Structure 1
Amino acid sequence: MARPLPLFKPTLVALALAGAFSLAGCGGGDGDSSASAATPPAGNGGSGGGGGSGGSGGGSATVRMNGTFLDSAVEGLAYRAASGSGTTDAQGQFSCVQGETVAFSLGGVALGQAACGSVLTPLDLAGTADSTDAKVVNRLQLLQSLDEDGDPANGIRITAASAQALAGKSIDLAQAGDAFGSALAALLPAANDARGLPYNLRDTSGTARQLAREHFENTLATALAKPITSTVADGVAGAVQYTKYVVQADARFFVPYEGDNAAVKRDFPQGFYPAAGSGLAFKGRAADGSLQFYGVTDRGPNGDGPTAPTPADTTKTGASKVFPAPSFVPSLGLFSVGKGGAVLQSLTPLSVSDTVKASGRPLQSGVGATMETPLTDRLVYDAAKAGFDANGIDPESVVVDEARKALWISDEYGPFIAKVDPATGRILKKYQPGTGAADLPLVLSKRRANRGMEGLTLDKSSGVLHGFLQSPIDDGKATLAATGKSEKVQNYARFLRWVAFDPATETSRLYALPVDAALYKDGKTGNAKMGDLAWLGGSRFMAVEQGAGPDGKVFNWLVLIEIPTNATDITAWGSDLEKSSMSGKAVNGADFSTVVTLRKTRLLDLNAAGWVAEKAEGLAVVDANTVALMNDNDFGLRSILVDANGKEVAGSLEDCTVNAQGQIVAGCPAGTAGARVAPGVASERPVRLWLIKFPQALTSYKMPQ
């Protein structure tokens, strides 16, 4: 059974440190004998294999202390010192006498030794302060690969059976990464873990190593207030500094699972991770100097769904989404970044009145409808529990408007732009595409499902909001000049729509943001997925551009965007302009060749700095040189297919068709007996918050001539 979150909190380490230092003060030692995570232990020079005693400084008292072993807290490590031996407990604690050396092991695998101290980490056992050293990362990967539930964020628990399976075995902890990964795969036990999956099928690739290090470095930041800042040279941006965090969230913020699937309950014992990284806005500095950010969730825990009967006419079928927590209310998040790392401090549900809360479920008809049927995780439509909702909203960005004492949110359903009271979460006003004087341009309603208004920001000098659709609109087909074939507009239009909305006059302008087809898989601009947007000053902006590249791998960039003084307002043209961009000819008077588009250039390659999450969705300016970046982890879940024994079957639920009773009737791979939500892939589960400091002022970056 998967254990509940959280088993490890920074406060536990603080208590352990306090206890250790008070004991040390009574011993008459030579000062600080603790082996901190970033400083080699006194007495052995930081050598993981050394035998130095650490010394007692001449004090005669024997001082026994409780230390803590951290990757996160590691339970199940065997330790041995001259004064005794044992196994680390659920808080990672071990006992030793100040001045002696403690050795750690798992079965026959010797992990190393270090001087007795209040906190020890793999850095100490490897004898280095460098978290990128292969000797350190190898230890991290070994420990995390043996974690009972495969989720080190809630603590690392190594069962006695797993440790025993390593009896008489060994592995070279100093070898290079690829070789170590292969050796580790051969070392891991064949037994099943807490989720019923074999340990020896766990990922031991380079990505797994990167994730192991990411987790550990966040432990240093969270538990020991020692964040790692690295510098990566970029040919365009220069030498950029990155300080990386993984957001910590207390169990009280987790979203309860509302179904009855035993496997889902096992995998999510306290519910789904509160993913409030769909948008990000800098709030300011707190009195203690910590950085404060607003975030926002999207529509809530949901997974890909099958083709299902439409509720209005069950003889017809359409797309669906699975909602395992259908009563979830989209919420504002408040984050703090400081000595305790990055922490979710609060969630404020959105509401439309004193008595009516917003919903994340789709609208059934009219503006904002996506033609997706909301299903429970039994794959059935239940109007009472998970029906359509006219107050549905799928937030994707959040903006601070100090002058109006409000927040602004854009969403993917309408797409809507909503004015929100930051104190209460009340939606004060909502703008939607339409033909009214105060409406957003109607053409925006042609957005693709789940590709609505992903980015929004405020030009503080003018009070105008700027936003964009995530991808080109969806409105029919046109001839593609390159092939002469009729192709979907959503796949090949050469631009996406940018909106400039002035809340003071409730008027809008639209611009064309170009998309380079050569950057994307199969030459399809529809594979482009713009993320968040931030105003830099004047007519320049920073945005996230991402999507599957020609090799099929997702790339994530920060790009610089500029609105030329002569940029063409394209509000008057509907999708004929997109069709003209494809054909190279005027369509019903719309001629893309005459349009002055926005300008865009790559500023920073996030992947080169170690970014692995697919969805970089929150971007905020912190100061003159610094931005913050956050990802959406989709509440840590995904949809999977399963066989009669509950084992995962390769394939996508989107390829399946179900009947009104939720029974699979067609499309699924052979052997499929059902579907459920399960933990997302390891690289997507963490919610990251990066601080990115540029070597020069953000306003100094300009378009190439």
Structure 2
Amino acid sequence: MKIKRLALALSCCLPLIAHGAEPEVSRYVVTFPEGSRVPYSGAWSSAFPHGLPVGVGSGLQFVRKEGNDLIFATVTDRGPNADSPKAGKRESKIFASPTFTPLLMTLRVSGDKAVAIDARPLHDNQGPINGLPLPEGFIGATNELALDDTLKTLTGDKRGLDTEGITPDGNGGYWLCDEYGPFIIRIDANGKILEQHGPEAAQGEQSVAGGLPNIIKWRQANRGFEGLTRMPDGRIIAAVQSTLDIEGKTKGTALFTRLVSFDPATGKTAMYAYPIDADVYKKTGDAKIGDIVALDNHRLLLIEQGGDKNKTMRNRIYRVDLTQATDLTEFDKERPAEFDDAASLQRRGIHLAKKQLAVDLRSLGWRQEKAEGLALIDNRTIAVVNDNDFGLEAMLENPAAKAKKVKDYQVDGQGHLLLDGKATPTRIGLQPLAEPESLNELWVIKLAQAQ
């Protein structure tokens, strides 16, 4: 797909807190000029006369300073999609633009403006990839039914990626991570895929790529790798977004999510347990990682977020220390630690990573549901960005009196919306997101102390 050069104009560049020992926040609202949108001519195009906004912010990497300008690299995710009803026991998603290709971009912040230039579609030797789910039967398939905007089934694609994080590869390109496989992918500066790594297939399994621990295949659907970072020694650390659901038994009770270490030079892997704030959530599987960024060879910053027991959103950045964290690899051979409670972890000698709160974004006025990109500018300054989900959401047209929510209905994959298994005059469609969810917000935060 040909995408025109993107320009982002930022406004509202005002310090939120500028005194005392509190963090200083410069907040920007990212807007998209006409001509830079994703073309959309589908069934609900009248609601989007200028197309769809590009959803920046799935990952963020600070590259360098040029004078006072800040240069970042960023990526989109799999493309415009919206929630839709279940098809039997399968989840489903509406893909508004099934041919959308995830993009690599350069973001320049200069004064009170930022410009995203050099939009580069991700591609391999066969050409541009897309963001459709993997076919059934492959490790990384989400058991998710992909639908077009008329509720008809789309064919999965082995080359599909749902990109989420970005970090330099040390050679002028980048490593990305993905939620499907979950995969770690290396690309060059033009967005060409050079290598791809995913869960190693066991006997009888099919995989798109291998080299990573097989156990991470148990990631929850659409909650694979959500962030990654390159440590100074060259290792790549990728964060699984939420608790693993091993054999369908652990997603709601596991006390941690996994940080996977991969050394590109040797292929060696290791896995560490990041302890989520387990007591805060109704189920531990409600916790989600947003992104991670390295501080040194043993420490990193990590966004943990999610709705608490009262459905109140939390968005916190923790300083995480892996120095004493146990490599879970050998323990997995006996019994994965996701099945252990705190006492059992202690008996087995499994040490989780240590964590300390660095900043509570909500206390500073963060209003978006998610923070998905995290970058380290210097040892006191970070940048955080959200993903606006391409500015669209699902809606119901002429809903039944007893069924006002999308999840109250079913789909059959053949273009029909059902209620209690029967045809209904209700239609499910797409509409623009309202503010503030439709906005991309970029924050630059100067912390009270060095990290």
Work out whether the TM-score is over 0.5: yes
Partner of 2:368: 613
Greater relative contact order (CA < 8 Å, ≥ 6 in sequence): 2
Distance 1:510 1:580 in 2: 16
Q: Secondary structure at the match of 1:491?
A: coil
Distance 1:387 1:342 in 2: 37
Does residue 473 in structure 1 map to residue 232 in structure 2?
no
1:88-120 per-residue CA deviation (whole Å, 9 max, x = no partner) reads xxxxxxxxxxxxxxxxxxxxxxxxxxxxxxxxx
Aligned match of 2:131 in 351, 355, 360? 360
CA contact (8 A) 1:250 1:344 kept: no
Please state how far the C-alpha of 1:252 moved relative to its aligned partner: 2.9
Partner of 2:185: 418
Partner of 1:272: 52
Partner of 1:701: none
Partner of 1:678: 431
Q: Secondary structure at the match of 1:307?
A: strand
Distance 1:557 1:467 in 2: 18
Letter in 2 for 1:411: D
Letter in 2 for 1:371: N
Structure 1 length normalisation: TM-score?
A: 0.58
Does residue 296 in structure 1 map to residue 75 in structure 2?
yes
Structure number with larger C-alpha Rg: 1
Number of residue pairs matched?
A: 437
Letter in 2 for 1:408: W
Letter in 2 for 1:570: L
CA contact (8 A) 1:248 1:342 kept: no
Aligned match of 1:629 in 370, 376, 384? 384
Partner of 1:491: 252
Q: 1:692 to 1:585 in 2, by over 3 A?
A: closer
Partner of 2:4: none
Please state how far the C-alpha of 1:371 moved relative to its aligned partner: 0.9
Distance 1:350 1:553 in 2: 36
Distance 1:248 1:289 in 2: 22
Partner of 2:288: 529
- Bigger proportion of residues as helix: 1
Does residue 243 in structure 1 map to residue 4 in structure 2?
no
Does residue 539 in structure 1 map to residue 298 in structure 2?
yes
Q: 1:346 to 1:653 in 2, by over 3 A?
A: farther
Distance 1:672 1:568 in 2: 56
Pairing 1:352-391 to 2, within 5 Å after superposition: 352-353=124-125, 355-365=126-136, 366-381=138-153, 386-391=154-159
Please state how far the C-alpha of 1:450 moved relative to its aligned partner: 1.0
CA contact (8 A) 1:640 1:675 kept: yes
Partner of 1:231: 17
Please state how far the C-alpha of 1:557 moved relative to its aligned partner: 0.8
Structure 2 length normalisation: TM-score?
A: 0.90
Q: 1:228 to 1:503 in 2, by over 3 A?
A: same
Please state how far the C-alpha of 1:299 moved relative to its aligned partner: 0.4
Q: 1:667 to 1:347 in 2, by over 3 A?
A: farther
Distance 1:601 1:276 in 2: 29
Q: Secondary structure at the match of 1:342?
A: strand
Please state how far the C-alpha of 1:517 moved relative to its aligned partner: 1.7
Does residue 322 in structure 1 map to residue 94 in structure 2?
yes
CA contact (8 A) 1:408 1:417 kept: yes
Letter in 1 for 2:78: R
Partner of 2:216: 444
Please state how far the C-alpha of 1:9 moved relative to its aligned partner: 9.9
Aligned match of 1:551 in 293, 310, 315? 310
CA contact (8 A) 1:655 1:668 kept: no
Does residue 662 in structure 1 map to residue 415 in structure 2?
yes
Partner of 1:259: 42
Please state how far the C-alpha of 1:356 moved relative to its aligned partner: 1.8
CA contact (8 A) 1:649 1:672 kept: no
1:398-425 per-residue CA deviation (whole Å, 9 max, x = no partner) reads 1123x32220000100000000112x21
Letter in 1 for 2:275: P
Percent identity of paired positions between Structure 1 and Structure 2: 35
Partner of 1:133: none
Q: 1:9 to 1:457 in 2, by over 3 A?
A: closer
Further displaced range: 436-445 or 265-274:
436-445
1:104-159 per-residue CA deviation (whole Å, 9 max, x = no partner) reads xxxxxxxxxxxxxxxxxxxxxxxxxxxxxxxxxxxxxxxxxxxxxxxxxxxxxxxx
Q: 1:584 to 1:656 in 2, by over 3 A?
A: farther
Q: Which runs of 5+ in 1 are unaligned?
A: 1-7, 11-217, 222-226, 309-315, 478-487, 699-705
Distance 2:196 2:297 in 1: 27
Instruction: Please give the root-mean-square deviation of Cα atoms over the aligned residues, in Å.
Output: 2.7
Please state how far the C-alpha of 1:448 moved relative to its aligned partner: 0.4
CA contact (8 A) 1:659 1:665 kept: yes
